[in-house]
Structure formats: C-alpha cells, structure tokens
Homo-oligomer: A and B are copies of this chain.
C-alpha cells in the first residue's frame, strides 16, 4: 500500500508541515527508516536524530519544527504511531485457511466460517469455534470450550475443558488457560487435592502473552475483563477477577480470589496476595508486593507496597541511614560528655 504524507496526516487528524506529496509505503524506526518510510519521534531526547534520519516523513508533537522535513504534528505521537502501524501492517497472521489434515477434531465440534486450524492441533468434543478463528499448530483445546469470532490462538497453547474465550482475543504461544487452581486442604501432614470444577472466562479484545498461566476457578470462574492486556509469564490464580482495560505486565503473579479493577496497571514482577481488591485505576510499580486491598486510583510502590510518595521518602532516608546511625551515636556521645565530667562512674557503667 502507498499513501501520501498528506493522506496520512488527514487520516491521523494531524497538521502537515512540508511536502505532503511524498509517498509512504511503510513504517520504520527513526534510525533505520529509509526513503518511502514514515517514522516517529518517540521522545524529545531523540530529537537530534531528526537531522540524520532518511525517513520521508516524521510524526512529531504539536510544537516540533524542522525545516526541510515533512512532519505530521499531533498531540499524541505514540497513538498516531500505533494507528499508522495498523494502517500499513495487519496484526492478523497470514495462514492457510481450512483444517490441516493432521489436526484431530473431536465429535460435535462446531467450526465457524473461515476458520483456520493448523497442523497437529487437537480439539476435543463439543468445542465451538467462531468465524475467522485462527488456531496455530500444536494447540490443544479441551472438551466443551468456546472461542469467539476472530480470535487467534498461537502455537502450542493449551486451553482446558469448559473454558470460554471471547471475540478478537489473541493468545500467544505456550500459554495455558484453564489449568487446575492450587487448592488443597490439610489432612494431617498431607495436602488433599480439592477438585477444581470452575472455569475461565476471557472477555472480548483481551490479549494474553506467551507462557502465561491462568487457572480455572475452584467453583465459579476466573475472569479476564474486556480489553485487558496480559504480558508474558504472568500467573493468574483460581477465581481471580480482572476488570476491563487493565494492563498486567510480565511476570506478575495474582493470588487466588483477588479482584483487580478496571484500568489498573500492574507493572512487571508485581505480586498480589489472595482475597483482596485493587481499586479501579490504580497503578502498582514494578516488583511491588501488595498484601492488602487498595483504594481506587492509588499509586503504590515497594515491598511492602506503600503510597509511592511515601516509599520514595523512605528510600531517600534509607540512602542516608548509615549516616544517620552515626549522627545518633554522636548525639549519644555529646549527651554523655557533660555527664562524664560530673558523673564518670555511671558513664563507664554504660559501656
């Protein structure tokens, strides 16, 4: 596809500066972009690269200037970059349609129109796949599960039985949805397994990264809300509920029966205890450990997680803690010093 810079500016609702007739046929990073490609200025610190880039057009913030370059000025260059990437590149994989002859399809399986099922896929009985669903090679889908229209399941994913995946969901490779929750009751020294009879519900427009694990509910459902995005290697325990449009970054772990609100951000490697609530719009900084419920719109950080302003103040103190210990020792000496003169005996007893 080829578009002029002017056409792109109009599509992005941006202000064109410079030659609008240059033709664009792709997107590239600012250092790699060649003639015929558009790029974007990700951060003001990369501004010097405007001089050297050979891109035919650059998406910039509203106040940016660079005479001689074709610029598209916008309020939110990152969003515009996303849109221009989506304009030139589909994120929908190219696959051969139909069912590969090596796939093993159970009984009473209901396949929508235009589905694509890869090699060595195994689909158990009574599974329902919506229209235009793409299942990559090596995927297993257990009995009675459903996957909605337009969803993509990448290679070697495992979806357990009676698991419900919505429309336009993307599941990356190696992920396991619907494994048993970690539920035992102690009987003497031993741990008696509690059969895990619930399900997993993944709502529309969710994306789930690679090698993620999402356990089914013990009873009832583990639920991932509409539009929520989950990064790689995340653990989501039984009966966790995540609201819509949240972001769960790589290697986060969420313990059983916890509720995460809508629009929440859990940064990388965060751990969240079980049976608590994280309020809507909260942001939890990387590697934090959250053990208590969190009010909506909280911004927490640390292990244990505290209000980020508090954690930052404590950290500033920690850096000076050895000095502080010295100060207190000095104060103790000063306070003893006058005593020494008048009361040598008591002072020496203290040593």
Contacts and interface: CB of A to CB of B under 8 A. Distances in A.
B231 A233 contact: no
A158 B155 contact: yes
A287 interface: yes
A70 interface: no
B195 A90 contact: yes
A137 B140 contact: yes
Contacts of A327: 328, 332
A151 to B, nearest CB: 13
B173 A173 contact: no
Question: How many copies make up the complex?
Answer: 3
Given A173-B176, A335-B335, A140 B138 contact: yes
Contacts of A83: 185, 192
A325 B174 CA distance: 50
Contacts of A160: 173
A100 interface: yes
Contacts of A130: none
Contacts of A324: 317, 325, 328
A271 B174 CA distance: 22
Nearest to A273: B286
Contacts of A232: 176, 179, 182, 213, 215, 235
A50 interface: no
Contacts of A179: 154, 172-173, 209-210, 232
Given A174-B174, A184-B229, 5 more contacts: A27-B197, A79-B187, A89-B197, A233-B235, A324-B328
Interface of A: 27-29, 32, 76, 78-79, 81-83, 85-86, 89-91, 93-94, 100, 102, 104, 118-120, 122, 136-138, 140, 142-143, 154-156, 158, 160-161, 170, 172-176, 179-180, 182-187, 189-197, 205, 207, 209-213, 215, 219-220, 227, 229, 231-233, 235, 237, 244-245, 247, 249-251, 253, 255, 262-263, 268-269, 271, 273, 286-287, 289, 291, 303-304, 306, 310, 313-315, 317-322, 324-325, 327-328, 331-332, 334-335
